[in-house]
Amino acid sequence: MQDEPTPVELTKSVADFLRSDITPLISGHQAFKLRVAINILDLVTRQLTQEEGSAAKEVERLRALLGIDGSVTELNRVLAERIAKGEVDLATPGLAEHLWVTTMDKLAVDQPNYASYKRELGRNP
C-alpha cells in the first residue's frame, strides 16, 4: 500500500481531469454518460472523506438508543425490527434526532447540492 497519492486524491484528480479536460470535447449522450461518471467519482470521494466519521457517530447514537452493542448494520437491523414491532417510535427519546442526523449525514455524501438538504442544514428535528 502506498502512502501517496491517497484514494481521495486519486478519485478527485480523475474527476477534475474529466471535468476540465474531457467534458469540453464531448457532446450528446456521451457527455451525459461522462457527467454520470464524474458524479460517481465525486460520490466516492465524499464517501472516502465523510462516511467513516458519520458511521462511527451513528453507531454511538444507536448504542445509546438501543442499549446494545454491534456494527452499524446490526444496530440498524435491530432498530428496524423494534420499529416494526412497535417497541420504539418517534416518541422514543433520541429516535427523531438520530433519524434526522443520520439522514443529513447521508445526504451530505449522496446529494450535497440537493436544495432541500441545503435549506435544512441549520434545522434541528
Query: Which tops the pLDDT comparison, 118 or 3?
Result: 118
With beta carbons less than 8 A apart as the criterion, state whether 68 and 75 touch. yes
Average pLDDT over residues 20-47: 96
- Integer CA distances (angstroms), 106 to 1, 31, 54, 94, 110, in order: 29, 27, 8, 18, 6
With beta carbons less than 8 A apart as the criterion, state whether 100 and 124 touch. yes
pLDDT digits (tens, 9 = 90+) for 40-98: 999 999 999 987 788 899 999 999 999 999 999 999 999 999 999 999 999 999 999 99
Q: Give the pLDDT band of residue 2 (cuts 50, 70, 90).
A: low
pTM for this entry? 0.74
What is the pLDDT of the chain when averaged over all its residues?
92
Report residue 99 CA to chain centroid gap.
Answer: 13
